[in-house]
Amino acid sequence: MSDDMRFPAAGDTDDWLALVRQFLRDLARRKKEQFHRRVSIGDLLTERSENAAMYGFGEGTTMYDNVLVLGDVHVGRHTWIGPGCILDGSGGGLEIGDWCSISAGVQIYTHHTVRRSVSLGVDPIEYASTRIGNGVYLGPNSIVQMGVTIGDQAVIGANSLVNRDIAARTKAFGSPARPR
């Protein structure tokens, strides 16, 4: 905190708000000096490795504070999970291997509600586990649908929709993603 910060009297809301804002500015300045980046308040207050460890993810794995984690999600070692991702393990489990890069905005699902919606609630929600192998790169804003397996060292291009299995060491791009 800045040397000029003083604790306001109890009940003095405006002064407390000013103190909090100054504290956040100081944290933001520290992140900018340390990493040359600007991040959200959540990432100012937390450390990425601690975020991942709180979920029991593997050693060396990091994830931004604003990653949405649902249900049964297992992530291996040394995997990077970027900002704004959705890791949905609510439908039977999501498994992500070691040394993966899960780029910003990636969404990985283990359920969907299509049949339930179009049947006006007659049909149930569908569930299937999803697996991402070791050394997989998922490009920014790619979507992996439920039940898909992506093999080791595969590369999925940005903005791709993965709606079927992708073999190991395959590059796949597009919507739907096709091997290249």
Structure-block tokens of residue 63? 């994830």
CA nearest 106: which of 73, 78, 67, 77? 67
pLDDT for 4 equals 56
Give me the domain span that covers residue 143. 47-179
pLDDT in tens, the chain (180 residues): 455 556 666 667 788 888 888 888 888 888 888 877 777 877 777 888 999 999 999 999 999 999 999 999 999 999 999 999 999 999 989 999 999 999 999 999 999 999 999 999 999 999 999 999 999 999 999 999 999 999 999 999 999 999 999 999 999 999 999 998
pLDDT for 66 equals 94
pLDDT for 26 equals 87
CB atoms within 10 A of CB 176: 12
Is there a single domain that holds both residue 8 and residue 56?
A: no
pLDDT for 1 equals 47
Query: CATH code at 100?
Result: 2.160.10.10
Is there a single domain that holds both residue 13 and residue 83?
A: no
pLDDT for 6 equals 66
pLDDT for 8 equals 66
| CA pair distance 158, 139, nearest whole angstrom | 4
CA nearest 94: which of 169, 150, 178, 54? 150
Is there a single domain that holds both residue 33 and residue 65?
A: no
